[in-house]
Chain A
Amino acid sequence: MQPDEMQDEMRRESQDGRGAMTPLDPAQVSVLRLRTALAAAGATLAALLLDIGLLRETVLPPFAVPALVLLLALAALIVFPVRRYRGWGYRESEDEIQVRRGRWIRVRTIVPFGRVQHIDVAQGPIQRPFGLATLTLHTAGTHGASVQLPGLAYGDAEAMRDRIRAKIRQDLV
């Protein structure tokens, strides 16, 4: 599926009667893929080491376990990144931002700009080559004390931060 197609489908999918949500930057799929690939490589390596060592004492045929792990890892690599990408969405309005996240447990959070204490824009080493960033909104709450929005184009994230910052009123708690 092409990234553009995927974005279109996302827009259709998140029409839940409450208006459409904006999907994350399509490059986020690549970030998630790279992350999953690293984890998969780690798991396969661990299985290989185990195969050379402990598993030789058992009746299991050589390379059976690492092959199985590799297969599962590849399946995960195909399924998870797209699924997780589709879990995310956001909608920025005049006074608040709504963030939707999760595929397994789906959560929609409303963050009023008046409640934002401070804002972070962060860029991890995997995000950097793709030009993506994570926007984090901090509030004085506990359960929703920090609301994250990963996978925004760096420029978009900064622009959004500046827009929100302009709207933050110095409300005392």
Chain B
Amino acid sequence: MSETLFEPRRLHPATLIVRWLRIVPQMLFAGVGVAAAARNGGAERFLLFAGLFALGGVVFAFLYWWRFRYTLGPSEIVIEKGLLNRQRRVIPFDRVQDIAIEQRLLARLTGTAKVKIETGGAAKDEGNLEVIAIADAHALRDFIRGGARAATSEATAGPPAAPAEEPVLFAMDLKRLLVSGLFGFSLIFLAAISAAVQQLDQIGLVEWEDWFTPERAGAATQFVSARLVLGLAALVVLLGVLAGIVRTVMRDFGFRLTRAEAGLRRKRGLFTLSEVVIPIRRTQVALIESGLIARALGWHRLSFQTLGADRKEGGVQVAAPFARMEEILPILAEAGFPPPPPRAAFRGAPKRALLRKIAPYILIAAPLTLAAFIFDIRAGIGAGAMTLLAVAAALRWRTQGHAGDERAFYLMAGLLKRRLWLMPHEKVQTISVSRGPIQRPLRLATLIVDTAGAPAMRPLQMEDMDANEAEAKADGLYAAFLGARALVRSGHG
């Protein structure tokens, strides 16, 4: 690869197959109307259209391959693509957050891989090289990693030779994998089935209206019994568990986390093999989470929030999907994170915070209870539901807590699924204290610590602290941040 290193290059010819397989179904969906028309015209018309689509797919796939070029530079990669709208994207190596190598089934058959270069920017598909030879993919990654290191720390060495054996930090055998699958209960198959039926309905192969007539529905009700309903429910649950196992096995088969030079290397996948290096310097927050039952049995999931992580997985990279706490601690230490403090070290919210948590539900429940007695007993259902929500809110209040030491800030939250965040002080972006109209008279405040790549849905925040404590904690966290930054800077020279 060294002679023609800086030459413009095209993707692997297998691109043609991969693109074709992607384009043709797209065109088929776009041409649903045509397909329906073709169905009326008989099998020959249908075959004719299918043939045209297939041929068109070949042309488009070829054009994509022909017009796609990437060029390596000494400190950047340039990607050019597009037929009419040419797009030229320059990605400097020192902006690269993450490089993932992914091999789907087809890629494995053709000896190719997809390389995803993430910079943490807003655009998706920032630097995707969809199909390149697997050897090239590894060489490219090592080159970019080496280049990025050379650019930041003035190391003079070229791309380093990959060491033969990396120490294994975490691996899952088949038994563990299957057990973890049991906890992956998922009803996604119901959505898949309904989507498939809708799709068929659109194409015109299935007519909903013909299936569900009022007469049929009336006839069907005669067969509905308690036993049938229970049986169906059991079937749904069984399928849900099965779907969970299948999904987990497909994703986490052969899970291995090893210590690579610049980070933690994760390999996993049954059909789609993926390989990711979680760069240690770019990890922001460690997250340990576990559901109610898994927690009781001592199983946890460890992931790291990085800037380049896939938003589809919640902006975190999973480092250990199903592990004992004693397996998680060495991984944390390897990534430079402190161990989580004991439960007793966490400070909860003050008692009066309960008032704010449950007040909204009680305020709705009270008139509903009244209504149940005066107007309609059914209002009691609403009152009951609100009371349950109030209880859940109270339990959530009990769970939430924060802790801190000289290295990091820790936060715990969640009723059923419990989450524990570990944030080293030097990872702070901004710190906020927020006081709403209900919080103010109760002298409560919410502390929000923002980090790079934090998920929008679940920010690092401690709700309903004592207002003075929250203000002081904000100032304290900022002081700790300044201290930690100074330490990091002097340590790195």
Contact = CB atoms under 8 A, between A and B. Distances in A.
Q: Do A and B belong to a common assembly?
A: yes
B475 interface: yes
Interface in B79-133: 94, 97, 120
A28 interface: no
A15 interface: no
Contact of B307 (A106, A115, A144, A173): A173
B437 A104 contact: yes
B485 interface: yes
Contacts of B448: 143-144
A157 interface: no
The CB with the most chain A CB atoms within 10 A, among B450, B451, B453, is that of B450
B251 interface: no
A172 interface: yes
Contact of B431 (A16, A109, A173): A109
Given A141-B452, A143-B456, A173-B282, A110 B435 contact: no
Contacts of A140: 120, 307, 429, 452-453
Interface string B217-230: 00000000000000
Given A105-B435, A140-B120, A112 B482 contact: yes
The interface residues of chain B, by DSSP majority, are classed as mixed
Given A18-B475, A106-B440, A110-B478, A144 B429 contact: yes
B170 to A, nearest CB: 25
Contact of A142 (B94, B281, B432, B454): B454
B454 A141 contact: yes
Nearest to B284: A173
Given A110-B478, A142-B456, A173 B428 contact: no
A18 B430 contact: no
B8 interface: no
A140 B452 CA distance: 5
Given A112-B478, A142-B454, A173-B452, A107 B434 contact: yes
Interface in B438-469: 440, 448, 450-456, 459
Nearest to A110: B431
Nearest to B94: A172
A51 to B, nearest CB: 34
A144 B452 CA distance: 10
Interface residues of B, number: 35
A168 B396 CA distance: 40
B487 to A, nearest CB: 13
Interface string A1-24: 000000000000000101000000
Contact of B429 (A105, A106, A108, A139): A139
Interface in A88-129: 95-96, 104-112, 114-115
B253 interface: no
B468 to A, nearest CB: 9
A111 B437 CA distance: 24
Contacts of B97: 173
A173 B482 contact: no
Interface residues of A, number: 26
Contacts of A95: 482
Contacts of B454: 141-143
A171 B431 CA distance: 18
Contacts of B284: 173
A147 interface: yes
Contacts of B478: 96, 110, 112
Nearest to B429: A141
Contacts of B434: 105-107
Contacts of B475: 18, 110
Nearest to B485: A114
Given A139-B429, A140-B429, A142-B450, A110 B437 contact: no
Contacts of B362: none
A143 to B, nearest CB: 5
Contacts of B436: 104-105
B471 interface: yes
A16 B455 CA distance: 32
Contacts of A139: 429-430, 450
Interface in B152-168: 152
Nearest to A169: B489
Contacts of B453: 140, 142
A144 B433 contact: no
A86 to B, nearest CB: 15
A114 B435 CA distance: 26
Contacts of B482: 95, 112
B139 interface: no
B481 A144 contact: no
B95 to A, nearest CB: 10
B474 interface: yes
A114 B143 CA distance: 30
B459 to A, nearest CB: 5
Contacts of A142: 450-451, 453-456, 459
A80 to B, nearest CB: 16
Nearest to B477: A110
B430 A141 contact: yes
Nearest to B281: A172
A107 B433 contact: yes
A42 to B, nearest CB: 27
Interface string A121-156: 000000000000000000111111101000000000
Given A115-B430, A140-B429, A147-B430, 8 more contacts: A95-B482, A104-B436, A107-B434, A107-B435, A111-B430, A112-B430, A141-B430, A142-B450
15 contacts: A18-B471, A96-B478, A106-B440, A107-B434, A108-B471, A110-B431, A111-B430, A112-B430, A139-B450, A142-B455, A143-B450, A143-B456, A143-B459, A144-B430, A144-B450
Closest A-B pairs by Cβ, 6 of them: A141-B429, A141-B450, A144-B430, A140-B452, A142-B454, A144-B450
